[in-house]
Amino acid sequence: MKDFLIKFRDKLFGIDKISYFIESETSKKIILGDFNKRELKAFEILKPYFPEGFLLETSYSLSFQTIQHIINDIVIYKPKIIFEFGSGLSTMILGNFIQKNHLETRLISIDDDSSWQELLKNQGAKADFYCFPLAENHPFSFEGKGKWYNIPDNHPITELKFDLVLVDAPKGDLSKLSRYGFVGFMINKLSDQVIVYLDDTHRTDEHLIAQFFLKEIGVPMVQERFYKYSRFSSSNSFNTSPS
């Protein structure tokens, strides 16, 4: 009877909820602390490939540990063509890494903002840049009611097979499931050993897009989930995730 009254009291005054909240917040702080530690380590590892002068990093940039993970894959799997949705910090670092290591890898980066891409070029970014405006109610957008890159069907990049794909655009608040369009665009454009990175899968929209990708792409792939991103691959010969 005493135990029942204690449990009733705790439930009545929300003590169980408070205890759960404290445990939950503590867990979040531990995860965030681990993320920050990995980020600092990745920052130091990537330093040799930073652009000269000012480091153009924003809140939209891929995390340093995500870029480190991508470079690990480049070293191990030696992709011939890397295709990037969303130009930025990753473009600069990856381009420098490819050039300094004399790799036979082509980096293609698309964006909807030509001014932003020009700024990156002026910072020394080494990639094949293409700018495409976002079209309303694009067929590749979610349910055909959102925005997606207006890439002409006869554009040369539509004829390529991609070995490594990075998805960090368009911005998440442009439309519902704004990055969903990459699924339709990538059908029949993936190489046999492709690796795909989808950023921000800790958010609801990107988490759902990841599920659609696995279901609709038509190629068996395995998803690895990390703190802020997911990696998809058809084969995992090596573990390339940063320690």
14-23, 60-69, 73-82, 172-181: least confident range: 14-23
* Residue found under tokens 């920050």: 36
Structure tokens at 151: 């890439």
**Residue 118 — pLDDT band, cuts 50, 70, 90?**
very high
Question: DSSP letters of 127-150?
Answer: SEEEE-PEETT-TTSGGG-S-EE-
HEC string of 33-96 equals HHHHHHHHHHHHHHHHHCCCCCCCCCCCCCCHHHHHHHHHHHHHHCCCEEEEECCCHHHHHHHH
Q: Is residue 86 part of a domain?
A: yes
The mean per-residue pLDDT over the stretch 114-140 comes to 96
Distances (CA, A) of 40 to 183, 191, 223: 32, 33, 25
Q: Is residue 210 part of a domain?
A: yes
Q: Is residue 35 part of a domain?
A: no
CA distance 243 to 236: 17
Q: Is residue 238 part of a domain?
A: no
Residue pLDDT, tens place only, 229-242: 999 998 777 899 99
Q: Is residue 25 part of a domain?
A: no
Q: Is residue 83 part of a domain?
A: yes
Element containing residue 32 per DSSP (H, E): helix 15-46
CATH of the domain at 116: 3.40.50.150
The amino acid occupying position 201 is T
Q: What pLDDT score was predicted for residue 57? A: 86
The mean per-residue pLDDT over the stretch 99-115 comes to 97
**Residue 228 — pLDDT band, cuts 50, 70, 90?**
very high
Q: Is residue 11 part of a domain?
A: no
pTM given for the model: 0.87
| Residue ranges making up the domain that contains 110 | 47-233
- Say how many domains are in the chain: 1
Structure tokens at 155: 């554009």
For the chain, percent helix, then strand, then coil, each to nearest 5? 45, 20, 40
Q: Is residue 193 part of a domain?
A: yes
Percentage of the chain modeled with pLDDT above 90:
76
